Amino acid sequence: MAEAFFPELFKSFFIAMGVLLGGSLLGGLASFAMGQPLFIEMRRLSDFLRIWAIIAAIGGTFDTVYSFEKGFLNGETKELFKQFLWILSALGGANTAAMIITWLTQEHMPS
């Protein structure tokens, strides 16, 4: 049973945000336990985990690629637009989490 569009959109945002925040915080604590600087590792991990948070939020890449293919080849622009919004929502969640990590760590490292 398919869920409605807007609840899926919000879930996508918060899944990406949760993956990035959780991964950065727990990974930072693990690196601190190993004697490395906590905040620098949290910031580094948030940069590294950003793409994985987006992929986890949209449910893997194959469904999205299939939906894009169906949208282009079959002329279903509504499905294409939905997939674009889901990806945009996941990008927004990951960016929000990265901004929170930057705010928490106050690290302004060059990329």
Residue 70: pLDDT over 80:
no
Query: Helix/strand/coil (H, E, C) string of 9-73?
Result: HHHHHHHHHHHHHHHHHHHHHHHHHCCCCHHHHHHHHHHHHHHHHHHHHCCCHHHHHHHHHHHHH
Residue 108 lies in a domain: no
How many separate domains does the chain show?
1
Domain that holds residue 80: 3-103
Residue 111 lies in a domain: no
pLDDT given for residue 23 in this prediction: 94
Distance CA(69)–CA(105), nearest Å, equals 41
pLDDT in tens, 33-49: 999 998 889 999 999 99
Residue 78: pLDDT over 70:
yes
pLDDT given for residue 58 in this prediction: 84
Residue 109 lies in a domain: no
Environment class of 39 (CB within 10 Å of its CB; exposed 0-12, middle 13-18, buried 19+): middle
- For residue 2, give both structure tokens: 């398919």
Query: What is the reported pTM?
Result: 0.81
